Structure 1
């Protein structure tokens, strides 16, 4: 009997394809479900009148520019000649004076508009031109003197009436002025001075929803009829914008515009109401009227009709966007999963996220094609879209890790907690312990723990470098002598190369027969089984590195240290385990074992970066070696003394990561053969996380700089398509943190919250380090103050910059929310995004507050201990036995 077997590659492709089809169908269904079509009343009538305008803002145009303007008027009037009986203008100066002549050639009537404003010289020119054109052209059927002049408060009622009386006296056509319906209701005296009421009824500006816009408009018309029976009334402006910000309940949309305009025209014809629709063409230059200003036209600025006047209306770009989103979602899915071995659950979760991100990218990318962008808007879009792409990549990387941990395969490469059994004689291990101005008590605890190792063949080489103070090195020297010949002590001044220099010096003094080099920090207390359990891994000649996690024995010493310790744990119990599955762990120095020949082949410890450990790990991979990881704790150090020390340590790591990028980027190129594709992916993704902090800080600052322009200038607000990714990334990060800490680190929610707080608090520190790494090289190595080494200064504020940014972002968010009079959705979303962007900086303030709280607690006088009888002295053993915290086994 033959049994068909599926190859691993075919199985992987099948899983990815199944997830892609499942999520693609749901994604497509979402686009279909949101595909909006409407069937408004047919309005196949010839429209009574359309507002008509072109951009004549530039003064003193050249003859060629003036000629082009006239040609534009000709083309635009010709295009609408078949759908309207007339047009209304708003000025009669410059090239607009040619409108009556051109309109006459197309049998169109013209309602001339003479603009009346603060400039009385221009007012006089407008009036004279209007009077002259009315006398010369028979198709001029009316003159509108002023447009919302009283509403804008640019002229008094008496002044406007004076202009109206003059024009009525000089022409033989009806004369009026254009004002909103409420101005006409409020000023009966104005009604007496006009031949008919030219009322503007614009439900959008009055914050009416599209559902009631028509009823509202005709109700206001009836109000005017009741107020002025027998007076001719023309709805001189009615319309609805197709795009722009909402104004409370009034939400611009192309479908709404089609429904409202067609419904209005149909009912107006049925009632016999004279009207003018605003407007014929979109006017991209009308930015003074807010976000909706450019979008009132029935035609685009290129002359394309936005919707049909009869039959069903559909959103044309919806299908294009849907297809683009599906293609992008599929591409992101395949790219993210192709070289992995996902389970169906893992693939499904990742594909769902990729489809959502594809939709977001499509919507953001389409923005310039569906909106009119001026220079400032282009700058906003380019910056926002540029920052969105890496944000999407980082978010998908988080989703992948979350899906892989919770829905994927169990780790298969971890060294078991019970360690490895030796099948050959154990190799000699040389343990190297560099120290620079370390507290002697801490180092002695480290040496005592090393002396207790349950391993037959090892030595310890202690290198105290660049430490002239005898207080630091003398007790260590004496302790090494007391512990015996296995412990070598080296005290050197003027050593170059920072920690790498000390480790290379230790390597020179290592016993020739030592095959494995172990490294621990000077504050680490190791477990007796460390070497016994891990050294057997080197029986495989391909193994060049074995890494155990960092941990700390003073995590409960203070609130600050508890929070910091929780943050460290996530990397070692989540990120490192997953990277180990792709043989791409980060060598982090302490608690590492390195094959001596591999170390020599890779060139030893390099001092051209300040993260010599991580850089060596990458060189070992490039040399063809593999690495193994255990998440069992075999050693416990001490945490940074202060929040500033914590920041200094992270600054060094981030700056070093950028140094490594600059040194090794060629190995990450697709054609490079030194690393496997999955190793490249993991290292590039790891570096991207560092870069994302820099991008996040940059985006926060840029958005903060944008706020005054929104508040005081009224510039374009970043579109929701560009701000939603910030909120999405925050939600994903929050879920990622909680879910994976509960799954892998297994700590209570309070510690998870502390870990999140600590991680966020470092954003600006990491951002500064990344920027320094991109523009500067060879910054000095900064040691992390531990074990009471920190020099505390009362006036020192470790979060000065973070406080300023955090409070400014908070204030900006509150200011935007409180000044959002019309509850514009984009403003509220942007305000919330600013609040989210401020959280990392406010977290740094919280960390400083926790540190201050701890300091106040320490400053309280200790209670008097109860009197107890004197106890006989207990003799101390010659080699103290260290006390180990419980290992996470």
Structure 2
């Protein structure tokens, strides 16, 4: 334990050191003077000024008191809607004012603005100029000649300089156009040039911004000799999204503005900084609109004008990251003898999540949200919490398997025979419903060969009136002898559980152990001999052996399906067994009769009666054991449709069990240990939750696509998208690593198993949805033994639709982003592609099932079977002179 504590301390210290090393600290010229002018809008919050964002005199006075310590003058953009209060209040603090008249297509409003601007200039001595219109020509809301008329009208009525504010190239281009059409130019009609130079919008980097501004200033002075030139807007946003090469940020803003002011003062430039205070209501300006202020919306400085540029809240964030990391690391101390490497991996994961939490905290505190963006971020974070928990659980499993100690409780080679030579009686129950008689006969023959002296076998065929199914089995049981009890029960209620209840009623009174196998399972002779001795411990209530299959070579689809099943039994069950929290899966299961009776026997209110009973046994305090040795081999589902139906039944039944048992997980409600509760909870979350969450997030992202692509608002930030990518990487690493370490399959089968596992995401999510809205669905038999025919319907229709839509959504995002090239949008498109993989996996298997490759046929070109190509059986090359099979012929592989 001391070593583990030392590891946690070391990782936490390394995390703190990493924050120290990554702390950004940039140099910029000091500015100790007072700014000549800043743009000021007296609005607060996210309400639009034209609707409900009306400033008060008290608010304006507080703002101007703050600004009077930073600037000599302010520039306004309108003269109505409460802004008319600014000039007289500004005079109280010695601030000069450049009044603005907002001009657009609304002639009535334009008239009000002009009259108000003129009135303010006439009655306030601190007004030093009027700007008629702001980027009015750039927005296409007025023609140059019409705007000139308004400017001339204002000039005639005031004694202060009058101009208009436009992007710098509008001034240049208008002069050229005016000369071509022999009309007055804007430049000749104003008292000075008020040029806006905003390098961010022109795709310049923050490193190029100041040089660009200086170049444009010199260009305008050369272009309009003798004319007063004012850079009426220069700034850089502190947050938002990049525009190609232009990246906003707090450091970029601070360094750019300090460099600009230093150089502007050195050459005597007249300039105005945009803007004084962040304006959250400007969220429609490409995401950066709210973040141009040198003060935030709380009227606090964003940066210092002297000294190194640093993040003043950096160490607060580091503290948050470290605290979260330490808290998430504490459960490591409860692990049983963790190794140093295991503890290091888990501690590093905890601290990585802590760092992400700090980044989320910083984002939330430095951004402004309207209802839609706040809702989107909140919903995204809510959905990410279980995703992060699942990823952490998977990393824990990787660390345990790869770096932890070998399993302690796993039965690897059976349990020694009892010393007294007494073998408790076992009653083996085999329920069957429309099962192929020849298949069931193989199962019974294998039971008859069991190397165990004291057992019986109860075969119950339920709800199968066709005598061709039950008559051969009845005859076969008679042939096998008195140990075999045959029951043919019709109109049985409660599905498989109802049949097993009838079997219990016919069980020999002296049977202490109940064994359950499915009708397709061929058991090995040593099954009971190896595992029944575990019940010598009176606390043991259940012993579970894994499922396996004998028809994995029937087709390529069966081959990868069998690999997918193996992962659960060789990885998940082994790890859960360490905490005595295995999932009982019915077949190959041995149950103490007393434990079954205490737990209420087979329950008919769920369609996964085996898992339901197993959990009840554990809740009552009985010990369970698991072995990963194969003692029985069954048959895989015949078709992909049957595979999906089986997975739907398991998931739906699992959700029924969650609804039925969740109260038993409350403190004191059962004898479940803390570790057992954790394993079951994480298991359900990892399976039912992860699959459902994946579908929900994919659909929500599809809905989000048009908002991002066409509305240019609410772009998902990297704090939402990168965790999705990271969780996908963790899931893939989890699958590949644990398969390589625990599951004895070849690489090709492993990759195929991954595709098979992903392909049921939609199926499991549908089952969970069914569980939310229904209480009971009918039991669906899994077709095995070659009885079912392949459906004429394409088995992955909805997966194909959703997968295609995700690809279309990604393409739309990439195409609509070609001009702006916002990094977050490209990441979002990548997320959509990743989210499409489970859906397309289902499509791939559905297509594979109908292909010639699936049947392990001869390849036309080589004469080599698919089974041979993937190493399932040795390659048998054709003899010299042999004739290759004709095109279209099929030679199916034999069952190994």
Query: Is TM (by shorter chain) over 0.5?
Result: yes
**Residue matched to 2:434:** 437
The verdict on how the C-alpha distance between 1:508 and 1:805 changes in structure 2, with shifts beyond 3 A counting, is same
- Of 636, 639, 645, 1:648 maps to 645
State whether residues 164 and 190 of structure 2, in contact with CA within 8 Å, keep that contact through their aligned partners in structure 1: yes
**Residue matched to 1:584:** 581
**Following TM superposition, by how much is the alpha carbon of 1:149 offset from its aligned partner in structure 2, in angstroms?**
1.3
**2:722 is the counterpart of 1:734:** no
Q: Which deviates more from structure 2 when the two are superposed, residues 420-429 or residues 781-790?
A: 420-429
2 CA distance for matches of 1:845 and 1:69? 61
**Residue matched to 1:722:** 720
**Residue matched to 1:134:** 121
State whether residues 115 and 123 of structure 1, in contact with CA within 8 Å, keep that contact through their aligned partners in structure 2: yes
State whether residues 339 and 678 of structure 1, in contact with CA within 8 Å, keep that contact through their aligned partners in structure 2: no
Equivalences, count: 849
Q: Which deviates more from structure 2 when the two are superposed, residues 97-106 or residues 381-390?
A: 97-106
Q: Deviations over 1:408-467 (max 9, x none)?
A: 001111112255333232222111100001111211111111122222222211100011
State whether residues 814 and 825 of structure 2, in contact with CA within 8 Å, keep that contact through their aligned partners in structure 1: yes
State whether residues 86 and 109 of structure 1, in contact with CA within 8 Å, keep that contact through their aligned partners in structure 2: yes
Root-mean-square deviation (Å): 2.0
**Residue matched to 1:520:** 517
**Residue matched to 2:554:** 557
Q: Which runs of 5+ in 1 are unaligned?
A: 1-10, 864-883
The verdict on how the C-alpha distance between 1:219 and 1:861 changes in structure 2, with shifts beyond 3 A counting, is closer
- Of 741, 750, 760, 2:758 maps to 760
**Residue matched to 1:869:** none
1 CA distance for matches of 2:643 and 2:471? 28
- Of 436, 445, 452, 2:449 maps to 452
Q: Deviations over 1:666-713 (max 9, x none)?
A: 222244451122111111111111222112211111111111111121
2 CA distance for matches of 1:852 and 1:163? 75
**Following TM superposition, by how much is the alpha carbon of 1:273 offset from its aligned partner in structure 2, in angstroms?**
0.2
**Residue matched to 1:171:** 158
State whether residues 556 and 854 of structure 2, in contact with CA within 8 Å, keep that contact through their aligned partners in structure 1: no
2 CA distance for matches of 1:477 and 1:715? 71
2 CA distance for matches of 1:127 and 1:384? 46
**Following TM superposition, by how much is the alpha carbon of 1:23 offset from its aligned partner in structure 2, in angstroms?**
1.5
SS at match of 2:836: helix
The verdict on how the C-alpha distance between 1:487 and 1:854 changes in structure 2, with shifts beyond 3 A counting, is farther
**Following TM superposition, by how much is the alpha carbon of 1:471 offset from its aligned partner in structure 2, in angstroms?**
2.1
Q: Deviations over 1:176-210 (max 9, x none)?
A: 11111111222223221211111111111111111
The verdict on how the C-alpha distance between 1:773 and 1:635 changes in structure 2, with shifts beyond 3 A counting, is same
The verdict on how the C-alpha distance between 1:813 and 1:147 changes in structure 2, with shifts beyond 3 A counting, is same
**Following TM superposition, by how much is the alpha carbon of 1:562 offset from its aligned partner in structure 2, in angstroms?**
1.2
SS at match of 1:235: strand
Q: Deviations over 1:762-810 (max 9, x none)?
A: 111111212222332122211111112324332x132222111111111
**2:110 is the counterpart of 1:114:** no
**Following TM superposition, by how much is the alpha carbon of 1:240 offset from its aligned partner in structure 2, in angstroms?**
0.5
**Following TM superposition, by how much is the alpha carbon of 1:857 offset from its aligned partner in structure 2, in angstroms?**
4.6
- Of 631, 636, 643, 2:633 maps to 636
**Residue matched to 2:180:** none
**Following TM superposition, by how much is the alpha carbon of 1:362 offset from its aligned partner in structure 2, in angstroms?**
2.5
**Residue matched to 2:710:** 712
State whether residues 607 and 653 of structure 2, in contact with CA within 8 Å, keep that contact through their aligned partners in structure 1: yes
2 CA distance for matches of 1:162 and 1:613? 86
1 CA distance for matches of 2:608 and 2:834? 32
2 CA distance for matches of 1:163 and 1:623? 87
**Residue matched to 2:350:** 354
1 CA distance for matches of 2:505 and 2:561? 36
1 CA distance for matches of 2:326 and 2:590? 42
**2:687 is the counterpart of 1:700:** no
2 CA distance for matches of 1:486 and 1:156? 101
Q: Which runs of 5+ in 2 are unaligned?
A: 176-184, 864-893
State whether residues 414 and 577 of structure 1, in contact with CA within 8 Å, keep that contact through their aligned partners in structure 2: yes
State whether residues 558 and 854 of structure 1, in contact with CA within 8 Å, keep that contact through their aligned partners in structure 2: no
**Following TM superposition, by how much is the alpha carbon of 1:368 offset from its aligned partner in structure 2, in angstroms?**
2.3
The verdict on how the C-alpha distance between 1:253 and 1:99 changes in structure 2, with shifts beyond 3 A counting, is same
**Following TM superposition, by how much is the alpha carbon of 1:308 offset from its aligned partner in structure 2, in angstroms?**
1.7
2 CA distance for matches of 1:362 and 1:651? 39
**Residue matched to 1:263:** 259
**Residue matched to 2:289:** 293
**2:609 is the counterpart of 1:612:** yes
**Residue matched to 2:469:** 472
Q: Deviations over 1:583-627 (max 9, x none)?
A: 111111000111122212222111111111111111111222111
2 CA distance for matches of 1:681 and 1:340? 15
Q: Which deviates more from structure 2 when the two are superposed, residues 372-381 or residues 666-675?
A: 666-675
State whether residues 444 and 479 of structure 1, in contact with CA within 8 Å, keep that contact through their aligned partners in structure 2: yes
**Following TM superposition, by how much is the alpha carbon of 1:306 offset from its aligned partner in structure 2, in angstroms?**
1.1
SS at match of 2:133: strand
**2:501 is the counterpart of 1:504:** yes
State whether residues 461 and 470 of structure 2, in contact with CA within 8 Å, keep that contact through their aligned partners in structure 1: yes
State whether residues 63 and 299 of structure 2, in contact with CA within 8 Å, keep that contact through their aligned partners in structure 1: yes
Map 1:376-415 → 2, pairs under 5 A: 376-415=372-411
SS at match of 1:603: coil
State whether residues 551 and 895 of structure 2, in contact with CA within 8 Å, keep that contact through their aligned partners in structure 1: no
**Following TM superposition, by how much is the alpha carbon of 1:366 offset from its aligned partner in structure 2, in angstroms?**
3.6
**Following TM superposition, by how much is the alpha carbon of 1:822 offset from its aligned partner in structure 2, in angstroms?**
2.1
1 CA distance for matches of 2:136 and 2:113? 14
Q: Deviations over 1:462-519 (max 9, x none)?
A: 1000111122212211221222222111111111111111111111111222221111
SS at match of 1:522: coil
1 CA distance for matches of 2:468 and 2:428? 24
**Following TM superposition, by how much is the alpha carbon of 1:110 offset from its aligned partner in structure 2, in angstroms?**
1.0
State whether residues 48 and 281 of structure 2, in contact with CA within 8 Å, keep that contact through their aligned partners in structure 1: no
**Following TM superposition, by how much is the alpha carbon of 1:341 offset from its aligned partner in structure 2, in angstroms?**
2.9
State whether residues 394 and 730 of structure 2, in contact with CA within 8 Å, keep that contact through their aligned partners in structure 1: yes
SS at match of 1:127: helix
**2:769 is the counterpart of 1:782:** no
Q: Deviations over 1:841-884 (max 9, x none)?
A: 11111111111215985999999xxxxxxxxxxxxxxxxxxxx9
SS at match of 1:192: helix
The verdict on how the C-alpha distance between 1:390 and 1:15 changes in structure 2, with shifts beyond 3 A counting, is farther
**Residue matched to 2:273:** 277
**2:35 is the counterpart of 1:47:** yes
**2:743 is the counterpart of 1:749:** no
**2:599 is the counterpart of 1:602:** yes
**Residue matched to 2:7:** 19
**Following TM superposition, by how much is the alpha carbon of 1:725 offset from its aligned partner in structure 2, in angstroms?**
1.2
**Residue matched to 1:35:** 23
**Residue matched to 2:315:** 319
SS at match of 1:38: coil
1 CA distance for matches of 2:258 and 2:856? 75
**Residue matched to 2:681:** 684
**Residue matched to 1:536:** 533
2 CA distance for matches of 1:340 and 1:388? 29
**Following TM superposition, by how much is the alpha carbon of 1:226 offset from its aligned partner in structure 2, in angstroms?**
2.0
Q: Which deviates more from structure 2 when the two are superposed, residues 847-856 or residues 399-408?
A: 847-856
1 CA distance for matches of 2:93 and 2:216? 34
**2:155 is the counterpart of 1:157:** no
SS at match of 1:640: coil
SS at match of 1:391: helix
Map 1:154-303 → 2, pairs under 5 A: 154-188=141-175, 189-303=185-299
SS at match of 2:485: strand
2 CA distance for matches of 1:196 and 1:749? 74
1 CA distance for matches of 2:761 and 2:333? 29
1 CA distance for matches of 2:104 and 2:164? 13
The verdict on how the C-alpha distance between 1:634 and 1:185 changes in structure 2, with shifts beyond 3 A counting, is same
State whether residues 365 and 385 of structure 1, in contact with CA within 8 Å, keep that contact through their aligned partners in structure 2: no
